[in-house]
Amino acid sequence: MRTIELKEVTALVRQLCMDANYYLPADLRQAFVDGEKTEQSPLGREIFGEMIANCDLARQNDMPVCQDTGMAIVFAEIGQDVHLVGGAFEDAVNEGVRQGYVDGFLRLSVVGDPLRRENTNDNTPAIIYTTIVPGDRVKITVAPKGFGSENMSAMKMFTPAASKENIINFIADACIGAGSNPCPPIVIGVGLGGTSDKAAYLAKRALLRPVGVQNADPLYAEMEQAILDKVNASGVGPQGLGGTVTALSCAVEPFGTHIAGLPCVVNISCHVTRHAEGSI
């Protein structure tokens, strides 16, 4: 059993909030470089160039890559041989988000109640998902999510009779119908199976998969490619101004489900699909 002080969790979350907002993952930047080469629209290519410059300026100056620094989504994998001491885990994570957003000069975008809508002025509460895993480490991933893209999420409870084509069309239609709202080129996360809530979790988690990496199962890899092809044939293009690169990547995460159902959730993410991870 390894003992970990929760103040270490707070310090890590604080740092990851800043890192995620300042430094885009290398695979995403590479997708911009590739997109600049393959995009057919001259304006689209220019936009890719702006996105690369923006990404590099943010990194060089420790500044947010986008003004919407998002709601903090925190995925924590906690080793079953870890003993956390010094308070409550969720409090420690929220304290890290509070410090990261305030000290990092990140926009405070969260209200404490969905109807009263008073800003909490520290970007809490975070959305926290914990998983118990083997080992004696704590791994934390912070994935800030802007709501231009989050608002474009879609869910459908298909019946088991739905064809692969029905599902591909639903996902592609959600992405194409979103138009310029999610600041394309987008990254598409899909949760398939489980229950409605499990599918929503899987769709969000799918966004952590490196850009361009396909599902190891050929059935789902083929589905991901079919969705990408449809979305990229739509003409929406970079920033919705027309072009051939509307989506950079699509990740489908399946899970076992009930004989009577087939839940499907699409979580669309923007061209700043941010995440940073660290371990204690």
Nearer to ligand SF4, 79 or 148 (CB): 148
In the complex, minimum distance from the CB of residue 87 to ligand SF4, in angstroms, rounded to a whole number: 31
Residue spans of alpha helices (H) in 104-217: 147-150, 164-177, 196-206
In the complex, minimum distance from the CB of residue 27 to ligand SF4, in angstroms, rounded to a whole number: 17
Nearer to ligand SF4, 70 or 100 (CB): 70
Q: Angle formed by the axes of helices 89-103 and 6-22, to 10°?
A: 40
- Which residues sit at the interface with ligand SF4, rule CB under 6 A? 66, 68, 70, 146, 148-149, 182-183, 270-272
In the complex, minimum distance from the CB of residue 196 to ligand SF4, in angstroms, rounded to a whole number: 24
Nearer to ligand SF4, 223 or 272 (CB): 272
Rounded distance between C-alpha atoms, residue 192 and residue 13, angstroms: 29
Contacts 24+ apart (CB under 8 A), 221-224: 223/164, 223/167, 223/168, 223/252, 224/250, 224/251, 224/252
In the complex, minimum distance from the CB of residue 149 to ligand SF4, in angstroms, rounded to a whole number: 4
In the complex, minimum distance from the CB of residue 129 to ligand SF4, in angstroms, rounded to a whole number: 20
H or E segment and range at residue 12: helix 6-22
Nearer to ligand SF4, 182 or 191 (CB): 182
Q: Are the CB atoms for 247 and 160 separated by under 8 Å? A: no
Rounded distance between C-alpha atoms, residue 125 and residue 82, angstroms: 24
Residue nearest to ligand SF4 (CB): 146
Nearer to ligand SF4, 10 or 149 (CB): 149
Using alpha carbons, list the distances in angstroms from residue 123 to 102, 108, 205, 228. Answer: 8, 5, 21, 33
Which of 43, 24, 19, 5 shows the shortest CA–CA distance to 278? 19
In the complex, minimum distance from the CB of residue 8 to ligand SF4, in angstroms, rounded to a whole number: 29
Nearer to ligand SF4, 97 or 270 (CB): 270
Q: How many CB atoms within 10 Å of residue 164? A: 11
Q: Are the CB atoms for 192 and 202 separated by under 8 Å? A: yes
